[in-house]
Structure 1
Amino acid sequence: MVSPASAPIADLLAARRPGHSLPAGLYTRQDVFDADLQVFFGQHWILAGLECELREPGDVQTLDIGRASVILLRDDDLQIRAFHNVCRHRGARLLKAGPGVVSRLVCPYHQWTYDTDGSLLHAGHMGADFDRGCKSLKPVALRLVGGLIYICLSDNPPKDIDVLAQTMEPRLAPYGLREAKVAHQTDVIEHGNWKLTMENNRECYHCAGSHPELCVSFIAYDFGFDAATMSPDERARAEAHVAEREAREARWEAEGHPSRTVARVVDCATNFRTQRLAIAGKGESHTPDASAASAKLLGSMTRKDLGDTHLWHHNGWNHFMGDHAVCSIVIPLGPDSTLVRTKWLVHQDAVEGVDYDLHKLTSVWIATTDQDAELVRVSHAGVQDPAYEPGPYSRHTEQELDNFAGWYVDRMRVHGY
């Protein structure tokens, strides 16, 4: 009998039961992690950054993804470009991970020099017959969607990114993300597999017991409930909320604010889900009292009461509100280690201490991310335990986890596992 520790990945995928979490090896094994990087972070579109981080010519962000590294920059013609962070001479890294400003890209090894459009400008001692024209930096597939930067490391990126773009461009346009600015950023290392990070984010079953700060502005009923187990009063409140949500959604749509759920989470390559949800309490923003954090609203927004436009994809989540936005990017670091990079965006002219208080702006999602990191840690510890066996998802509050697990298995098989 083949042990789970050495079973082929295909056997682990075949063992996954619909409606249940994944077999342990799909969360814990190094060979599965390597396959995940190759499939989901090499062959699919991933959220990599924000256009507003590359405001001026020469602004650059370098992102490491497994063994790959990608340079995002704004060139001298103000176009955003993406390149593999590999010198065309002998492969040295051009830039370290993180932000920076460059006038040219100069290899630290032998000083081969590239223009911001990727063309090779200088390569010393290569002979008079050396053709610089065929040694430009290798481009990375790039798609700009409403101010978000998506990249794909494949030479044949999925074409259904068009659906995401067509859906999100009109939804994101009023927020003016391309002209926003990053007010704050945190990097949190979660000690768990990236799929556990994504699963944790795709349900709010745990919210009431784990996220007191977030629950001030989140409405738990929006993320599912089991009416059969509720008291009559609880069921009446939940059903009233659903009716109110549907009426509000229709009203927002009629007023020209796209709100209805668009979900491409199964039978697709580019996985995403979006909807506009009301904010609880004062109804304006994800802050300690649910009131707006910034006096200057984003983009062309004129109202604070238009809720929270959510956008989930397979390596992150986003919340777009009238006064600010929160964008989180997930990058796997190892089978048991995941980077969650969160950015808070405000209007480009908003001034800290005048238009917004940084603590009010950031405290809810800082607390929530730290709490989630602990939940992911205990989840990963559990799936490593010999006693672990895949457990059943709630049909009422964890359907998105079942969708994600099914999509994961399907995409692995599409790519030969």
Structure 2
Amino acid sequence: MFTTVLIANRGEIALRVMRACRELGLGTVAVYSTEDRDSAVVRMADRAVHIGPGPARRSYLNIPAIIEAARLTRADAIHPGYGFLSENPDFAEVCQAEGITFIGPPAAVMERLGDKAVARSMMVDAGLPLLPGSRRALEHAPEAQAFADEIGYPVIIKAAAGGGGRGMRIVHEPDEFLRAYTETRASAQVIFGDGRVYVERYLSSARHVEIQVLCDQHGNAVYLGARDCSVQRRHQKLIEETPAPRLPEGLVERMGRAAVDGALCAGYVGAGTFEFLVDASGAYYFMEVNCRLQVEHPVTEMVTGIDLVAEQFRVAAGEKLAISQDAVSPRGVAIECRINAEDPGRGFAPTPGVLAECQLPAGPFVRVDSHVFPGYRIPSVYDSLLAKLIVWAPDRDSAIVRMRCALDELRIAGPGVATTASFLAQVLTHPVFVAARHDTSLVGDLVAGG
């Protein structure tokens, strides 16, 4: 095992990783921008190194500064959390060249799976079902248009280097395609530095279901159940739950085995997530692989009792998985709500500001992953996530009630600051959600007054 871990991230995920390090007896190093100099992350770490000004490209995305911080503190491992550099193969390669263990899959695996078009092609070879779509990036508009016309509308144009729900556009009619194609390529170039896109058939009414996998360096892999992530706005998840409710009998096992097959085919190592769409008939289709820890990983931890971050460290240290598939036995239901500093009444616009009040819920089977406190200043230059509220209960109805109570207890407020909490409470009372008959269109229907 390592001795000192540098956490190349900020906010709640940095604190989450630090807690795992402490339980494993590992030293911790925080890196922070000028915006985060007074953060809880800096206070909790054994050592903290300033790596640059607020904008992420000059701090949390600044590879030389992060590597220099690791050198200064003699950190022998780096955990990237999620976002920022977590799926950057160049960063993983630099860590390896410096003799620092990157807590994640090998750079070559990330590079292949990070290219969504290449990943689709690999998963076809592994036997996973896919929606009709291109197996490679489509470089020219006429070719892409012809392909879309052939597979039928609606289609979705996706950035080959995309992720996190960004870099995609839905096209309903042929005469909309060229403009959407041009705009998607341009935005992909700006966001990801890679303008390549691919096209696939779009399911307008589908559920977003994902499978958590764990793989070691010795060819062993397990899946840890299914999470439903269908409550989302603009492809950004708001509520996640496990087990995924109302799926046909045997579907989770089929999807889990398919995810394990895909992971082994790709040479995956560490914690990863295979994302699928499930249609009304129960057919499922591979979308992409997330080569990192997911924001919603706590719900899986709550029902399985498995510390995913600790497992990431053990796998990275070369240990074999101590978990067999037969030993994975999820129990009960867990739900996570993302509390973002956003105003649902203004199209989920970010609302930075200073928190005058911050009272986080507590009680039996209630978990809050957060980095905020009274007086905390919400930066405008980072993601708007303030807290992840997670509850567990023996069954789904009880979990929904517990989450409603926790949301009622939550108090996060300040001048000009709005959060998603009340909107999430509205979702939890919606009869379609309560009956587990929702799909990815639910939030759009609510915003539109449905």
Q: Which has the bigger relative contact order, CA under 8 A and spacing at least 6?
A: 1
Q: Of Structure 1 and Structure 2, which has the larger fraction of its residues in strand?
A: 2
If each structure's helix is expressed as a fraction of its own residues, which one has the higher value?
2
| TM-score, normalised relative to structure 2 | 0.27
Structure index of larger Rg: 1
